[in-house]
Chains A and B, each alone.
Chain A
Amino acid sequence: MSKTINVAESVPNQGFFQFLLEELKPKGKIFTPFNIISFPIIILGLVIIYLRFKNGIGSVTNLTQEVPWGLWIGFDVVTGVAFAGGAYVLVFMVNILNLKKYKPILRITVLNGFLAYLFYSAALLLDLGRPLNVVNVVIGNNYGVSSVLFLVGWHFLLYMLALFIEFSPAVAEWLNAKKAHRFLTAISMGAVIFGITLSVLHQSGIGALFLMAKDKIHPLWYNSYLPLLFVVSSVFAGISMVILEGSISHKVFTDYMDKTDNKHHNSILVGLSKICALGMFVYMALLVLVFIHEKNWVHINSPYGYWFLVEVIGFVMVPMLMFAYAYRSHNTLIIKIAAIMTLIGILLNRMNISIICYRWEDTERYVPSWQEFIVTLTIVFIEIWVLRWIVRRMPVLRSGPKWAAGSH
């Protein structure tokens, strides 16, 4: 496995297409536990996607007239975008604040963000009843400019482009395209500045999507600060995802990494845990403010109230304290556990707003069908496959070829 790694740097003389063909072949073991689990699920998911286009959305989902957005939107888009927030936070830290320490994990984070957005928009297309008309949003004279969704869509789309530009030097290094590399590196600063701006707006925009659902979401979760809460929580949600992904890829992709000492990786984790703790503190402060402002204590002594406390205390306050403690004691195990808890908390929050506490007064509740779960898993698995393919070929975790050094 480890012998094939340097192929990318030695190929340019072979001819471009031969090189590409060579690169398309799988690298690494085929029968890993992950492949054995994910492959059948992906096949099943593709069958379900086929059925969805053949028989309509209702044939594979449990969506109703009352709950028109289910797991595909609630998880893939609303939750997934928060999880992918690490890209803009890290880009801000490295490229704007000049915190060089975090540079080793920048490319993998940007790549993760880009792929997440790419696949979540694919999931979004599955959920559209008339997906061909999506062109109306991009071209033509049908702009619904007063729509939050329109603005989210455009910011989303442009941000994907920005992420691609930010990542593109790695592609150029892989293809040994020196001229393209110089050009792409030159324009990436614009992409950085715009990427951050676009992120702040679409992260908050996803919260703003639910502003008009005022009578449908439980008052403990609905408030006029939703956009602000969404953007603040995307900071530590994204960073927690970076911590988790970093820890996983540190184990899985060891062969594709530079031999950096563990010490440096740990100091990155400790630094990130401080940011998480601070972000979560701000988020908690906002939650308390909203709670008092909306006089929400009347709702606390009810099943939904207890559920709210589970989310806010169990999965925001506790991991916040864990991050703070781990920052002081440099305990990376606690950082990782806190990151997982934070991610669960964000998942709970987004699911509560979009599904669990949406139409909470109805007697008939929406529960996702098994097909919806399988398709969601399929999207995530394909994304991981593509991520793995790229990491094993392009200089994502390791540094690029010598000619590219210093220009970035």
Chain B
Amino acid sequence: MTLSRRTFLKAMGATAVALSVGKEATAQTSGEEKPEFMAILYDSTKCVGCLGCEYDCAEAHGNPDYEIPIDPPMRKTDDKQRTIVNHYETSKGRIPRKMQCMHCNQPACDAACLTQAMHKCPEGPVIWREDKCMGCRYCMISCPFDIPKFEYGSTNPQIVKCDMCIDRIREGETPACAYNCPEEALVYGKRSDLIREARRRIVEEPDRYYDHIYGEHEAGGTSWLYLSPVPFNELGFNVNIQKSSYPALTKGFISSIAPVDILLPAVLLGIYEATKSNNTKEEDQ
């Protein structure tokens, strides 16, 4: 086997391509400075658990005949229903909690998606785009909140999750659940404003609230913010979730790809050249 100059140059050319891909990759994960994400603050001390938001959500997403099953006491979102309100028995009595996509500032699903089907919009919502998705379900593996759901029964399955009513937001309206909430348990607004508002509520009524805003720092910060009267683990939240973003976990690996793609071929060439003399000796024998 011989190594001509041409093959060598070809090899270097391909390396350059690999490098450019790798570079882009690191640039994207580091995350552009966000403008100002829209967000929703959910105050479980104000929520009366009327489940109205479940119906509003179903209607807004093309399922007006939605009926809430009575049977399992603890329900989960699934490939039909994007939001669920469960009631938890806590140290301060029965407390409702709404569940839906958290719309992370730096979403794991967006970083995981290899076709950009999962997408963090500049407005704040994380949406799924049908024409791009190839149904690999890596977003489901990556999401720390288990939000994306897959239509296993369909031949052209979709990923179903809360899209924060992106169409309404783009028209300047409020997402359906927050718009219809009768008790103002859901407030829609700029994320920084809502964090200020949440802090104000905790400061003004320290007995009413547990001193933490879930979503302010969890998973690097989310566009869905929670206030609770009890520690959040009592409401079924994962309180061990890391404070840095999930895409940061793969950053080290992704940024090492380009150097390896460049350096390893050079090292291999070096070893090849070094052992070549062995080669001729053996053939002489």
The answer to whether A and B assemble together is: yes
Residue numbers of A with Cβ under 8 A of B are: 53-59, 61, 63, 65-66, 68-69, 92, 95-98, 100, 127-134, 136-137, 142-151, 153-154, 185-190, 192-194, 196-197, 200-201, 204-205, 208-216, 224, 227, 408
Partner of A214, one of B144, B153, B269: B144
Task: For B157, give its contact among A56, A148, A193 (CB under 8 Å).
Answer: A56
Q: Interface 1/0s, chain B 27-65, versus A by CB < 8 A?
A: 011000000000000000000000000000000000000
- B-to-A contact residues, CB < 8 Å: 1-4, 7-8, 10-11, 14, 21-22, 24-25, 28-29, 76, 78-79, 108, 111-117, 131-138, 140-142, 144, 146, 149-157, 238, 240-242, 246-247, 249-250, 252-254, 257, 260-261, 264-265, 268-269, 271-272, 275-276, 278-279, 282
Q: Which listed residue, B28, B138, B153, B240, touches A149 by the CB 8 Å rule?
A: B138
Complex Cα spacing A137 to B135, Å: 12
Q: Which residues of A contact B276 (CB under 8 A)?
A: 98
Instruction: Give 16 CB contacts A-B under 8 Å.
Output: A65-B146, A68-B137, A129-B156, A137-B114, A142-B115, A143-B21, A145-B24, A146-B25, A147-B138, A151-B25, A186-B4, A192-B1, A200-B264, A201-B260, A214-B144, A214-B246
Query: Which residue on A lies nearest to B30, using beta carbons?
Result: A146
Across the two chains, which residue of chain A brings its CB closest to B20? A145
CB–CB B140/A137 < 8 A = no
Q: Is the CB of A148 within 8 A of B254?
A: yes
B152 engages A58 (CB within 8 Å)? yes
Bound-state Cα–Cα, A408 to B7, Å: 15
15 more contacts with CB within 8 A, not counting A127-B136, A144-B114, A193-B268, are A97-B275, A128-B134, A129-B150, A129-B154, A130-B133, A136-B134, A149-B112, A186-B2, A190-B3, A193-B11, A197-B268, A211-B249, A212-B141, A214-B242, A214-B246
A65 and B78 contact, Cβ closer than 8 Å, known pairs A210-B141, A212-B141 = yes
Task: Name the 3 nearest CB pairs between A and B, nearest first.
Answer: A129-B135, A58-B152, A150-B114
User: Is there an interface contact between A144 and B1, defined as CB atoms closer than 8 Å?
Assistant: no
- Given A57-B157, A100-B282, A189-B7: A211 in contact with B253 (beta carbons within 8 A): yes
Dominant SS among interface residues on chain A: helix
> A58 contacts which chain B residues (CB < 8 A)?
152-153
With a cutoff of 8 Å between Cβ atoms, the chain B residues found around residue A209 in the complex are 138, 141
Report chain B residues within 8 Å CB of A186.
Answer: 2, 4, 7
CB atoms of B112 and A148 under 8 A apart: yes
The CA-CA distance from A185 to B76 in the complex, in Å, is 58
**A188, B1: Cβ atoms closer than 8 Å:** yes
Nearest to B278 among chain A residues (CB) is A98
Q: Distance in Å from the Cβ of A392 to the closest Cβ of chain B?
A: 26
- CB atoms of A205 and B253 under 8 A apart: yes
Check if A145 sits within 8 Å of B28, measured CB to CB. yes
| B138, A130: Cβ atoms closer than 8 Å | no
Contact yes or no, A212 B249, CB < 8 A: yes
Note all chain B residues with C-beta closer than 8 A to A193. Answer: 11, 265, 268-269, 272
Complex CA gap A174/B145 in Å reads: 55
Q: Are B150 and A68 in contact (CB under 8 A)?
A: yes
B249 cross-chain contacts in A, Cβ below 8 A: 211-212, 214, 224
Choice from B2, B14, B79, B157 contacting A130 with Cβ under 8 Å: B157
Question: Are B250 and A154 closer than 8 Å at their CB atoms?
Answer: no
Interface centre among B3, B79, B149 (most CB of A within 10 A): B3
A97 to B275, CA, bound (A): 6
